[in-house]
A and B are shown apart, each in its own frame.
Chain A
Amino acid sequence: MNDFEKVLQVDDLRTEFHTLGGVVRAVNGVSFHLNRGEVLGVVGESGCGKSVSMMSLLQLIPNPPGRIVDGTALLGDRDLLAMSQSEIREVRSVEVGMIFQDPMTSLNPVLTIGTQIAEPLVEHKDMSWGEALDRSVELLDKVGIPDAAERINDYPHQFSGGMRQRVMIAIALACSPPILIADEPTTALDVTIQAQILELLNDLRNSEGMGMILITHDLGVIARLADRVAVMYAGQIVETGSAQDVYANPSHPYTQGLLESLPRHDQEHSSTERLTSIDGQPPNMLDPIDGCPFAARCKYVFDRCKTENPNLIVLEGQHSSACWWDMKNECERTVE
């Protein structure tokens, strides 16, 4: 592999929530990086810490109850987690755009679409409102909203779900940030609209060289767009690697179980064939986890898994898995 330019390097990120029931270790030692112009897909089940990880990077965790207790997140040579409020606000508009999971709650219902796109341009790019609104029309047009010049005067409720998602993308793109974090950008949308948005994100990556972190629970969406994948489980990354490697050789039992449990619309099924399921359910994040967080559901579990947490172990090149069991050789993994 050639040497990519890293634009973001996150190390040992830990975020907790102090709730009445106890401490939720929502993000529990997460490390990853993003290269220029690449799409990193982040997948995992509900509550595993995908959103909290990315919100932590941008200091968007409500405190209390949340607290980032450890970690660094280097954007170039600056640590996002050590920035002041005004610095990080600038970063959020200019350097790292974010599309939030719920477009309706993240758009302001009483401001026109145009105002919401133009605002960061006025604030951070020294544009006049006139210039910024002209640019808003261009942006809306680029994300595929017809009659953009008129629609900038509309309010969010006048847009359909798919169009609102496009508006969110336009806002995130306003200052042309080199990095975009997209949190479930298509989950609430119909498949034909999802296809439009994925197409748009793909074009942006190709035409602007934008690096993207794409959060989703849909392994099809990841396969469509991502160059690399990070699979999360219970606040940790349990497998990461190139999309090709992870899908062809899933090396963590959770990843393997997920891929096996998916029916395929492009393959014939016999009517008696059962789906392979993963038994049990994800751990309660309030309970302290000794050992591997997947141990209770894992079909390969053995003694060591219950006491020692396997951190990511490099298998080959960029491909790592946090599992004590070596599936290929059917033996306990040896770590140098």
Chain B
Amino acid sequence: MNVSEPLNNKNMLRVKNLKVHFPIRRGVLQRQVGAVRAVDGITFDILRGETFGLVGESGCGKTTTGRAILQLYEPTAGEIEFDGVKLAHLDPKLMRDMRRRMQMIFQDPFASLNPRLSVGATIAEPIRIHGTVDKQKIQDRVNHLLEVVGLSPDVASRFPHEFSGGQRQRVGIARALASEPDFIVCDEPISALDVSIQAQVVNLIEDLRADIGLTYLFIGHDLSMIRHISDRVAVMYLGHIVELAETDQLFVNALNPYTVSLISAIPVPDPVIEAKRQRIVLQGDVPNPANPPKGCLFSTRCPLVVDECRTNRPELKEWRPGHYAACHRIDEMGAGKGLPPIRLEQNSGQTSQ
């Protein structure tokens, strides 16, 4: 497996075999009785200036991945390298600068802002911590950032509850930009917003990338938006990456049966297309990450499952340049030879019209 290339300055971020396990404790003594394998050995690079999409269903480990990258969780194992510097055991001064350069935009614009801080104070805080203490300079920068995110500088004295969801998310973005980061983890930044507001915020996020040269890890579960915004996409299932490819490759030629099922499950906003679309309706739920299946993680729900899948876990392999997928049956289905991708209707899985 070689998902990460040798170090070169094209890489903004390198994640190598990252694991984050959360202990499960029971009883009065709080003895550890097991662990939630929230992230269980993932490897990927994010190139400078790209938007890297991370998708998967609830609980698959997306947020944990983002937080571990930002050093908000200590990894159980593995390595994270930011702009050529390994983040483990950094001296405090260097670590402070690394923290400044990596920021996060959160899912819930209602919970992520301090209700007692005015919008101006919210944005000024990281400027003061990471930059200057000169009052006038801070003021100028706050005003500038408000303008950048499409708000009027007049709103600086107002409080979060006076804003709509979309406006609050703009404040969250201005705050993330305040410390002049190079890299931002966007954790479902639009899922709490109305459809008509989502496009506004996504456009802002995309414009900022071009204007200030940012790199994004964009976490989401809306595959349509992920396709729109990402250059490359990784699909997670139960703490693992099961497929990683350039965006159009992933959506047109998905190799892993979970990816194919996930894409097919999302209805398209066009009744004419919906009436004739092939769908794979997966049975059952995602297994518990404290007790994942032995073989392939998807084997309990996969429409293509064979005996081997239940005992051996398939590795993430490169099937086409830059296109990685984990599944025992890719070869035999011909996809690895440049033939059409897996056709799920060949097998027992329930498909419906």
Contacts and interface: CB of A to CB of B under 8 A. Distances in A.
Interface of A: 45-46, 160, 162-163, 190-196, 198-199, 217-224, 226, 243-244, 247-248, 254, 257-259, 261-266, 268-269, 271, 273-279, 281-282
A194 B111 CA distance: 26
Contact of B268 (A195, A265, A274, A279): A265
Interface of B: 57-58, 164, 166-167, 194-200, 202-203, 206, 221, 223-229, 231, 248, 251, 261-263, 265-274, 279, 281-283, 285-286, 301, 352
A219 B194 CA distance: 12
Contact of A217 (B194, B231, B283, B285): B194
Nearest to B206: A274
A103 B166 CA distance: 27
A262 B265 contact: no
A223 B267 contact: yes
B195 A262 contact: yes
Contact of B228 (A220, A275, A279): A275
A277 B265 contact: no
Main secondary structure of the interface of B (DSSP, over half): helix
A271 B231 contact: yes
B270 A263 contact: no
Contacts of B265: 191-192, 194-195
Contacts of B301: 192
B196 A266 contact: no
B195 A219 contact: yes
Contact of B270 (A196, A218, A221, A247): A247
Contact of A190 (B166, B248, B269, B286): B286
Contacts of A263: 224-225, 227-229
Contact of A265 (B202, B206, B224, B352): B224
B165 to A, nearest CB: 8
A282 B228 contact: no
A282 B82 CA distance: 41
Given A224-B267, A265-B223, A258 B195 contact: yes
Contacts of A199: 279, 281, 352
Contacts of B286: 190
Given A219-B195, A261-B199, A198 B270 contact: no
A196 B284 CA distance: 9
Given A190-B221, A263-B227, A274 B203 contact: yes
Contacts of B281: 195-196, 199
B224 A264 contact: yes
Given A191-B57, A199-B352, A220-B266, 14 more contacts: A45-B195, A162-B285, A191-B266, A192-B262, A195-B282, A199-B281, A219-B269, A224-B267, A248-B272, A263-B229, A266-B251, A275-B228, A278-B200, A281-B166
Given A224-B274, A279-B200, A282-B194, A264 B262 contact: no
A192 B279 CA distance: 10
Task: Return the 5 tightest CB-CB contacts between A and B, nearest first.
Answer: A220-B267, A263-B228, A277-B199, A195-B265, A275-B199
Contacts, number: 127
B200 to A, nearest CB: 4
A45 B225 CA distance: 18
A319 to B, nearest CB: 14
Given A198-B267, A217-B195, A281-B166, A191 B221 contact: yes
B217 to A, nearest CB: 17
Contacts of B263: 265
Contacts of A243: 271
Contacts of A195: 265, 279, 281-282
Nearest to A220: B267
Contacts of A279: 200
A262 B200 contact: no
Contacts of B248: 268
A255 to B, nearest CB: 11
A275 B272 contact: no
A8 to B, nearest CB: 22
Contact of B58 (A163, A190, A244): A190
A162 B57 CA distance: 13
Nearest to A161: B58
Contacts of B57: 190-192
B269 A262 contact: yes
A265 B286 CA distance: 23
B261 A265 contact: no
A244 B196 CA distance: 21
Nearest to B264: A195
A266 B268 contact: yes
Contacts of B206: 274
Contacts of A265: 223-224, 226-227, 251, 263, 266, 268
B270 to A, nearest CB: 6
Max chain A CB contacts within 10 Å: which of B198, B199, B200, B281?
B199
A98 B284 CA distance: 24
Nearest to A244: B271
A277 B270 contact: no
A220 B203 contact: no
Contacts of A271: 231
17 contacts: A190-B286, A191-B221, A191-B223, A192-B282, A199-B279, A218-B267, A226-B271, A248-B272, A261-B196, A263-B224, A263-B227, A265-B251, A269-B228, A275-B199, A275-B228, A281-B197, A282-B196
A223 B268 contact: yes
B199 A264 contact: no
A258 B196 contact: yes
A46 B195 CA distance: 9
Given A199-B352, A223-B267, A263-B225, A193 B251 contact: no
